[in-house]
Structure 1
Amino acid sequence: MVEPVRLGEPDAGELFTLQRASYVTEAQAHGDLFLPPLTETLDELRSVLRDPAVFAWGIRESGRLVAGVRILVRGETGEVGRLVVAPDRQRRGLGRTLLLAAEDRLPPAVTTLRLFTGEHSTGPLRLYPGVGYQETGRTAENGYQLVHFVKVRGASRP
């Protein structure tokens, strides 16, 4: 099994590059080149990684960062964001492995996880229900829908 590593400010440049590469197909699928992961600056990402409420994790293969995720903890809620996998490493279970490992490493006080994805994000729309997330609704965003999910921690996994 691949062991996730905690990411911090020193990993910002590599994570920034991975994030950009990973979100290009999402931007194309949604017809929106201004998705927040594509407009976030390196300085903004560094600031996020310095925040003690953000738990960022990644998977490295032969030293290369190939997957990443961050979870912002606010009390009992963890807001999952920026789950990314390098385009050449997608569809190999890395996103699933990393997401579940990151969830397992959160403080015990976190009981609820929330996330969203675009309605044309076929991979994530398959992944999230498969690891216990339930759709809670949809909201309009620049000509497409954001699909919102929630997961209660400790609930049985499918």
Structure 2
Amino acid sequence: MGMSVTISPALEHEAESILKLQYLCYQSEAELYGDYSIEPLTQTLDELRAELATGYVLVARLGDEVIGSVRARVEEDGSAAIGKLIVHPRMRRHGLGGRLLKAIEARLAAERQATRYRLFTGHRSAQNLRLYRSLGYRPVGTAPAGRGLDLVTMEKEAAPSATDSGGALAASA
């Protein structure tokens, strides 16, 4: 009998597992750009623990194993900065990245009233760009990040609330 993948908030004791998975997942990005000094590969455990304490971090688990993660924070203007969407290499191409992204968007909309989602990826990261576009993200800018890497910033507006200003459920089509 197979196990189901669950997505829920990261637990403090999972920080080391998340960091190890991050290191594994970003090897392909580092290779693609010829730069192994990218921030996801140099982040410390203490820095990750600080993110767990101050931001939103979701993990995907297969049983007790952390096989994916995504992080976010909401700015004062209501825009949500989403980052470090990772999925274990053996679990890729099964829709898990999309599930994680949708889960963090829903959480940020419900708990922090996020109005817009923003993320970035490298200009040569074709699979990432394809995923984000398929989920409604559109490029809004590109900026050089050194060593042959341009970061593509992508955004999408948050879906309208399920309630109107009167608090009643909005009619569905």
The question of a shared fold, defined as TM-score above 0.5 by the shorter chain, is answered with yes
For the residue of structure 2 that corresponds to 1:148, the secondary structure is strand
- 1:72 match: 73
Contact 2:87/2:96, CA 8 A, preserved across alignment: yes
The residue type paired with residue 113 of structure 2 is A
In the TM superposition, residue 9 of structure 1 has moved relative to its aligned partner by 2.3
- 1:7 match: 10
Structural mapping, 1:23-42, within 5 Å: 23-42=26-45
For the residue of structure 2 that corresponds to 1:120, the secondary structure is coil
- 1:101 match: 103
- Cα distance in structure 1, aligned partners of 2:34 and 2:116: 31
Contact 2:74/2:112, CA 8 A, preserved across alignment: no
- Cα distance in structure 2, aligned partners of 1:120 and 1:34: 17
- Cα distance in structure 2, aligned partners of 1:5 and 1:26: 26
CA-atom RMSD, angstroms? 1.3
- 2:164 match: none
For the residue of structure 2 that corresponds to 1:136, the secondary structure is strand
The residue type paired with residue 11 of structure 1 is E
In the TM superposition, residue 10 of structure 1 has moved relative to its aligned partner by 1.6
The count of aligned residue pairs is 153
Give 5+ residue unaligned stretches, structure 1.
Answer: none
Structural mapping, 1:136-151, within 5 Å: 136-142=140-146, 143-151=148-156
In the TM superposition, residue 2 of structure 1 has moved relative to its aligned partner by 4.2
Find the partner of 1:153 among 142, 154, 158: 158
Greater Cα radius of gyration, structure 1 or 2: 2
- Cα distance in structure 1, aligned partners of 2:119 and 2:141: 11
- Cα distance in structure 2, aligned partners of 1:93 and 1:130: 11
Once the two structures are overlaid, the 10-residue window that deviates more, 125-134 or 4-13, is 4-13
In the TM superposition, residue 73 of structure 1 has moved relative to its aligned partner by 1.2
Contact 1:8/1:50, CA 8 A, preserved across alignment: no
Instruction: State yes or no: 1:130 paired with 2:130.
Output: no
Contact 2:6/2:62, CA 8 A, preserved across alignment: no
